[in-house]
Chain A
C-alpha cells in the first residue's frame, strides 16, 4: 500500500515557540492532504484540508493564523504550530488522499507535540 511519513515523530518545545511538522507521501503524488488533531482518549478531529498549490481550507474553530499549512509539492505538506501553548499539546496526524476509483486515504504515523 501507499506510504505516508511524518517528521518529527515527537517534539517537545517551550511555550511561545513555533513547531513545524512535515507530512510526505513517499510513493505516490497527493494533490490533497489532511491534518487531524487527536487529544488523549478522543477522536481524530479534522483541522484542515491542504491542496497542492492553493490555500488550505480550515474547519470551523481552527485558527488559520496559528496553524499554518503549506502544500508546496505533490508529496509534501507542512503544518506549523505558531506561538505554541500547552493547550496545543496533542497528537497531530496527517493523511494523503490517493485519487482514483478507490479514492483511499493513507495516514501518517502521527507527531506527538508537547508544549511546556
Chain B
C-alpha cells in the first residue's frame, strides 16, 4: 500500500520568512496530493491540493509542487504569519483513501 514520508517534523521560522515542507510517496498510482492544516482538537482543513497532471499550483502565499518522476511533492508558504502556526499534513491518494504523512509542526514567531 501507499506510504507517505514527511519532513521536517518541526519547523520554526521568523514572521515573514518562507517555510517549505516536503513529502515523498511510494505508490506510483497515486494521483491526488492534498495538504491539510490542523489546529489542536479540530478537523484537518484542506489548504491546497494538486493532481498528477499538474506540476505546480499556487494560491496566494501557498504553493505546491509535484515531481512525479521522483515521487515527491512540497508545500511552500511565503511571507509566513503567526496565524500560520499549526500542524500541516501531506497526503496521497491512489484509489479513494487518503494516506497521511506524519505531520509538520510549524511555529512562526513574530
Contacts and interface: CB of A to CB of B under 8 A. Distances in A.
Interface of A: 32, 34, 42-46, 49, 91, 93, 95, 97, 103-105, 107-110, 112
Contacts of A104: 46
Interface of B: 32, 34, 41-44, 46, 89, 93, 96-103
A21 to B, nearest CB: 14
A110 B41 contact: yes
A43 B101 contact: yes
Pick from B32, B97, B99 the residue with the most CB of A within 10 Å. Answer: B97
B96 A32 contact: yes
Given A103-B32, A103-B96, A42 B42 contact: no
B44 A107 contact: yes
A44 B96 contact: no
Contact of B42 (A32, A95, A105, A110): A110
Nearest to B101: A43
A58 to B, nearest CB: 12
A45 B98 CA distance: 9
A107 B43 contact: yes
A95 B43 CA distance: 10
A44 B42 contact: no
Given A34-B97, A105-B98, A43 B89 contact: yes
A34 B41 contact: no
A109 B99 contact: no
Nearest to A91: B41
A57 to B, nearest CB: 9
B67 to A, nearest CB: 22
B93 to A, nearest CB: 8
